[in-house]
Structure 1
Amino acid sequence: MMMIKHFCPSNPTICLCRTVQVFPKSIYYLSTNVDSLTNENKKQKIHSQYPLLDTKFNQYRIAYHYRRSIELLRGYLVFRIFSIHAFVNHQDKIAYWGRRILGDRLFKNILKVTAFGHFVGGETPKEITPAIKRLLNYNVKPILDYSVESDDNSPLSSSSQIDLMHDHNTTKFIECIQTSHDLCGPNNLVAIKVTALIRPNVLKKFNTILKSMKNRSSLPPLFELINQEQTNNKIVVLFQDSVNKNLKEDQNQISSNVTFLPDDLTEIHNLLIRLNKIAEACLKHQISIMIDAEQTYFQTAINYLATELQRYYNKSNTPVIYGTYQCYLKDTLNSLKYDLALAEKYNYIFAAKLVRGAYMEQENRLAREYGYESPINPSFEATSQMYHTCLDEVLNNIAKRKPEQVRIMVASHNEDTVR
């Protein structure tokens, strides 16, 4: 997706990069190992209407049956092209000269039938409908993703323009929730990114202050307060007073020079309102949202907001809010344990997806440039170990609490992890 954004920097689009295979509650296994079928007593009834779970990933016909041959060929070509380092390293120049030589319209059309078409389901609900229907025919539910995030502030944009953009993104997220319900029915998933709803520098400041606190659970319940009174920013003033009290008690020096300005408080209040609107739309349409993880200089704040949303909205049998845990980070297990304990303490459903992570190169580069220890695990094996340990921790918590009180999505492309 990073490459697609460089090639086609148009308006954000509804993206079908993620799918989830839905199986019945009773899952039937058939090993591809012939020896396992020799014992008649161990044979299990296989329901032909559901795909077989192939733990060796050898049943390619089942895996790709919903794909047309031309789509498989396109996927292979895209994979081969993006494996060329020179192509990836010079993508900006290629995109620039492609537009200059071919024109924006022809260049965009070429992308739509190649890389863009491979990764993105469509730009409108009408465009994504055929792809969704085809997936649903094979019992695969799509996770709609209005793909927009931010890492830097535009110096050319005024505060009012930025607010309008964030309000526009909120509207689009809600439209995505509506579209998911209309096309896929209830109990489906939509992904969002918090950086689409607030200025990055304010979120960074929020993140720095939260990281400096030893006991974030003592802060006021934000979304309980938001739903009591949405007319002013007294809530964030109360929040700031609570933060200042905690930092003073901790005698923390990290955030001694980091304080919220009045505009920052207004922006945080607006963020809470936007997130609350999105969560309310999820309740209305019986859709859940996954709050994506982002860079570490945002992630503590994002994770805090996700747990606060869970604390208010994950009270029924179906979780509305899912958080995300990046297992390429060294501190993920500690964060996961803390949040599991918090969910048990306040009796709400813990819901999360486990991922490896998407910002490794940037995180390592920043660590080298600024001379601090990289937050990223030192090796692929260490990340895999972290992933499996985190999954074990969640499974142990499921055994400890009621199964419906803990929900987990294994969001991994790694075969060993999926097994």
Structure 2
Amino acid sequence: MKKIFENTQIAFALKSNNQLQLSYFLFKVMNSKLLVQLGTKILLLTLKLHLPVQNIIRKTIFSQFCGGVNEEDCLKVVDTLFTKEVSSVLDYAVEGKINEEEFDIAFVKTLKIIEFAKERQAIPFAVFKPTSFGRISLYEKITAKKILRDAEQEEWNRVVNRFDLVCQAAHQKDVPVLIDAEESWMQTAVDSLVLEMMRKYNTEKVIVYNTLQMYRYDRMEYLKKINQEAKQGAFYIGIKLVRGAYMEKENERAEENNYPSPICASKSETDENYNTALQYITENLEFFSLFAGTHNEISTYYLMELMQKKNIVANDFRIWFGQLYGMSDTISFNLAANGYNVAKYIPFGPVKEVIPYLIRRAQENTAVAGQTSRELEMIKKERSRRKQE
């Protein structure tokens, strides 16, 4: 397999020298766990004290990882990316909401994104996070198979209705919808609900995608199980594969509550689990559509090799590669330049409301071994190349 991810000229073609310098600075900070911890505390304190720092945040970390404050604000980014054949997935990144009014706002936002996507080739998917449609404790209680009180059952019915109306709109407008994953102690409730949506709306093609976090060692077993159900029930399966975003929380909760951690024992086991899932899905592509969300070059090359061996064309509509906006441009833009389907996840929302997402993004970058170092290495390489021009 030809190595394509070293081409920084393609990767950073859309970045000015100043933008490249800002990216270098931000990843340099994120390369230090101490600086991320200190920066997080300072950021939260300034917001708590209502200090006028939102404009600084918007021009720095927000501009690196977010597309704008609303859908329209993102269109410039969407259109610019698409000049290089990189598509976009608009992600309303407001997190941690707890009441019905906030859930309804997220629901309406998701419907609007579907409408946006219908009108724009550059936005091939919609997306939402399950806990933006309902309380965390409710998902948790259902996952634990506890009996709901009457009021809780009514509340859950509203959650189900939001899921159904979004998936129905996606089906009617022919816009696939990616449903993000949650922590393991609430994910079973999500899995059951998403599977119900697949049975209902994936009868002709994949519209609804579930997300599997492959740092969970039980996800391959689950993948095979739902494949058998799809064969018997005559529906198609949409799967977004990621490694996972809540490892520290998962391990800490398992230790505190004295149960075995659901997370693979090592990163190498997670990598193997992820690649095994890639192989399984490509071997059963008549039943699946895949959104491979990964910043890992080895897994990306592996999927490219699987496609090549199975004579799957680069732009087969059933296989997409995805990375987060502001990261892994060497993967995204070089894949697109070689004809593969690629989409960037573009978070958006009011600056203050998106702060929890940005903090989590910085912490995840710091936690993933080699991630920020690789980003810095590629930025340095491009800066050096430009100086020699």
TM-score band by shorter chain is: 0.7 to 0.9
Change (3 A) 1:193 1:342: same
- Which of 272, 276, 289 matches 2:164? 276
- Specify the alignment match of 1:197 in structure 2: 133
Q: 2:375 — aligned with what?
A: none
* SS at structure 2 position matched to 1:90: helix
Q: How big is the shift at 1:149?
A: 3.7
CA deviation map 1:322-379 (0-9, x unaligned): 1111110011111111111111111111111110000001001111212211111111
Within the candidate set 84, 92, 114, 1:138 is matched to 84
Cα distance in structure 2, aligned partners of 1:114 and 1:176: 25
Question: For the residues of structure 2 that align with 1:344 and 1:100, how far apart are their CA atoms?
Answer: 53
- Correspondence for 1:247: none
> What is the aligned counterpart of 1:293 among 181, 184, 190?
181
Partner of 2:103: 166
Matches of 2:90 and 2:39 in 1, distance apart? 26
The answer to whether structure 1 residue 89 and structure 2 residue 37 are counterparts is yes
Consecutive aligned runs of 4 or more in structure 1 exceeding 4 Å deviation: none
Contact 1:132 1:183 in 2 (8 A): no
- Using the alignment, how far apart are the partners of 1:170 and 1:206 within structure 2? 21
Tell me, yes or no, if the aligned pair for 1:148 and 1:193 is still in contact at 8 Å. Answer: no
Please say if 1:342 is aligned against 2:229: yes
Matches within 5 A, 1:260-339: 260-317=148-205, 319-339=206-226
- Please give the residue correspondences for 1:2-401 in structure 2 after superposition, counting only pairs within 5 Å: 31=2, 55-99=3-47, 104-105=51-52, 107-150=53-96, 162-184=99-121, 188-209=124-145, 258-317=146-205, 319-398=206-285
Q: CA deviation at 1:269?
A: 0.9
C-alpha contact 1:181 1:286 (8 A) present in aligned 2: yes
Distance in 2 between residues matched to 1:325 and 1:147, nearest whole Å: 19
- CA contact 1:328–1:377 (8 Å) conserved in 2: yes
| Aligned counterparts of 2:14 and 2:121: Cα–Cα separation in 1 | 17
Bigger relative CO (Cα 8 Å, ≥ 6 apart): 2
C-alpha displacement of 1:200? 1.5
Q: Tell me the amino acid that sits aligned with residue 299 of structure 2.
A: T
What is the CA–CA distance in structure 1 between the aligned matches of 2:200 and 2:151, rounded to whole Å?
26
Alignment partners' CA distance in 2, 1:342 and 1:182: 34
Letter of the 2:138 counterpart: V
TM-score (norm 2): 0.73
Secondary structure of the corresponding residue to residue 113 of structure 1: helix
Q: 1:409 to 1:185 in 2, by over 3 A?
A: closer
Unpaired segments ≥5 residues, structure 1: 1-28, 32-54, 154-161, 210-257
- Classify 1:268/1:100 alpha carbon distance in 2 versus 1 (closer, same or farther; 3 Å): closer
- Unaligned 5+ segments in structure 2 are 302-389
Specify whether residues 100 and 265 from structure 1 end up closer, same or farther in structure 2 by C-alpha distance, changes over 3 A only. closer
Does residue 295 of structure 2 align to residue 413 of structure 1? yes
Alpha-carbon distance, 1:87 to partner: 2.4
Q: 1:100/1:310 Cα in 2 relative to 1: closer, same or farther (>3 Å)?
A: closer
Q: Residues 344 and 67 from structure 1, CA distance in 2 versus in 1: closer, same or farther, beyond 3 angstroms?
A: farther
Give per-residue Cα distances to partners, 1:151-182, cap 9 Å, x unaligned.
8x5xxxxxxxx222211211111112222333
* Distance in 1 (alpha carbons) for counterparts of 2:33 and 2:293: 27
CA drift at 1:117:
0.8
Q: Name the Cα RMSD after superposition.
A: 1.9
Output the CA distance in 1 between the equivalents of 2:48 and 2:163: 40
One-letter code of the match for 1:182? E
**1-side partners of 2:38 and 2:171: how far apart?**
44
1:30-77 C-alpha deviation (Å, 9 max, x unpaired): x3xxxxxxxxxxxxxxxxxxxxxxx34221211222333322221111
Q: Is the 8 A contact 1:149 1:194 kept in 2?
A: no
